[in-house]
Structure 1
Amino acid sequence: MVGSRRMKAQTYADRRAKSFNRSWSDPTPMKPDSLHGSRDNGDLQSSSGALDEGSQEDADWEEERELERAACEGEDFTPPKIILISSKVPKAEYVPNIIRRDDPSVIPILYDHEHATFDDIIEEIEKKLTAYRKGCKIWNMLIFCQGGPGHLYLLKNKVATFAKVEKEEDMIQFWKKLSRFMSKLNPEANLIHIMGCYVLGSANGEKLIQNLKQLMRPHAIEFKSPLELSAQGKEMIEMYFDFRLFRLWKTRQHSKLLDYDNLL
């Protein structure tokens, strides 16, 4: 289980603070005339820098797109489907055993809700994608965690809300880093399903999803969180799971009489 051996979760902010080197500016005062001139030059440089940065980002995007295309060559290639499974989900340890057995592109990642960090999850996703096929990217993803209308309970003391994904640096970086694993070849928006909670059950849920889409730009991402008993929910379940085994697991999820043999 990802992060299960970590006794103390070190946040992105902690690591950043440790590696931070204090820099000092030149204390020499500037003359008023030179100050205005410097400001004008600075504006021009900023404008020019922004254009250069935009051009470089476009070039990087195309380069990464071509690398992904080369990695995905072959008629037998199927884009990977990643399932992130929080250990906080009841009977989560059995979820990897109920995935679709006829589809090797479904890749489960069970992580320790108590001790894992966002970086642990990102590192494991990278490892799994490399093992599946180096250079490939995600077209479909399922995040299976607890939560509720307007929030996702991703990690211990890390609840994603529309306000927190604007302020908490480690959470911001998680979604930005996650976006780098999403496909640049998919002709449609890459899809992230959310299961285990109905995050879209409130206006705050809609705000949260909009903020996540913003963080993951320039990738086009569509989020879906259908009710499991709906037609869309059944379609979502069948994309990742053996539907018969999923129903068996679901009916006994909160029972002590789980039939282990059917799930192993």
Structure 2
Amino acid sequence: MTPTRGDLQASCGTLDEGGLDDNIDWEEEREMERLACEGDDFVPPKIMLISSKVPKAEYVPTIIRRDDPSIIPILYDHEHATFDDILEEIEKKLTAYRRGSKFWRMLIFCQGGPGHLYFLKNKVATFAKVEKEEDMSQFWRRLSRFMSKVNPEPNLIHIMGCYVLGNPNGEKLFQKLKNLMRPYSVEFESPLELSAQGKEVIEMYFDFRLYRLWKTRQHSKLLEYEEFL
């Protein structure tokens, strides 16, 4: 029998952490998730984290795909929110979606640039800072607990609003985050919006027409409310 991605993740947990108890906990949690997500009607949730620092961020929840109820937007306050606030909101939204469910995909929509994510005020995620700052590394470890253990493919975290891979430090940052989130299997993607892959990511989460309209109005002073309703 060919091992599933979940089996491989579980065995990685044993190797990385060296504990049988950890492996038992992993198996129990994976089984609980599997039971929670049974049924042909279940669609794995997609979490969308939107920083209020993004221009016209308040409109982003109105331009998501309306034919996909699995997309869960969370608009957070860049200036005042804490890592704990964000994690609590994710937990609350996943429980409301279906108790015991975990996300298979996440979109983080925030400001940043080559090699860095401007996630919260005074909290810029770079390779060096994630290495040094305990609260930042803990955030990514704790975030991984909300990722699926039953997904046969690596879970995906998409980054939009900035191009993190614009220099080699971006790849170093993503590799560091992947290591922090072990034994969960995760891939980070930060495509250019104008690329074919960027268009695919936009269409995964957004009504493409409304997204383009939002982009054209993003830096203007006036925004016609009714166009997004």
TM-score, normalised to structure 2, is: 0.92
Q: Which amino acid aligns with 1:229?
A: L
Q: How far 1:61 sits from its partner (Å)?
A: 0.6
1:235 maps to what in 2? 200
**Moved beyond 3 Å, runs of 4+:** 50-53
| Alpha-carbon RMSD | 1.4
Matched, 1:249 2:190: no
Change (3 A) 1:168 1:256: same
> Aligned-pair distance for 1:138?
0.6
**2:38 is aligned with 1:73:** yes
Tell me which residue corresponds to 2:104: 139
Higher Cα Rg, which structure: 1
Name the structure 2 match of 1:120. 85
For residue 101 of structure 1, the aligned residue among 53, 66, 72 is 66
The aligned residue for residue 122 of structure 2 is: 157
Q: How does 1:54-65 map to 2 (within 5 A)?
A: 54-65=19-30
Kindly provide the amino acid, as one letter, of the partner of residue 137 in structure 1: K
Deviation at 1:257, TM superposition (A): 2.9
Question: Does residue 1:261 correspond to 2:226, yes or no?
Answer: yes
- CA displacement 1:183-236 (0-9 Å, x = unmatched): 000101000000000001111111100100010000010000001111100100
Deviation at 1:53, TM superposition (A): 5.6
Letter paired with 2:33: E
Q: Does 1:188 align with 2:167?
A: no
Structure 2 counterpart of 1:202: 167
- Separation in structure 2 between the aligned mates of residue 51 and residue 191 of structure 1, nearest angstrom: 21
- Name structure 1 gaps, 5 residues minimum: 1-49
**CA distance in structure 2 between the aligned counterparts of 1:107 and 1:52, rounded to whole angstroms:** 32
Give SS of 1:185's match.
Answer: coil
Alignment: residue pair count: 215
Paired amino acid for 1:192: I
- TM-superposed CA distance for 1:262, in Å, is 1.3
Cα shift at 1:113: 0.3
Change over 3 Å in CA distance of 1:251–1:137 after alignment to 2: same
CA distance in 1, matches of 2:200, 2:87: 27
Query: What are the superposed Cα offsets for residues 67-108 of structure 1, whole Å, 9 maximum, x if unpaired?
Result: 000000000100000000000000000000001111100000
**Unaligned stretches of 5+ residues in structure 2:** 1-14
SS of alignment partner, residue 218 of structure 2 = coil
8 Å Cα contact 2:52-2:77 kept in structure 1: yes
Shift of 1:259: 1.7
Q: Report the secondary structure of 2:127's partner residue.
A: coil
Give the secondary structure class of the aligned counterpart of 1:96: helix
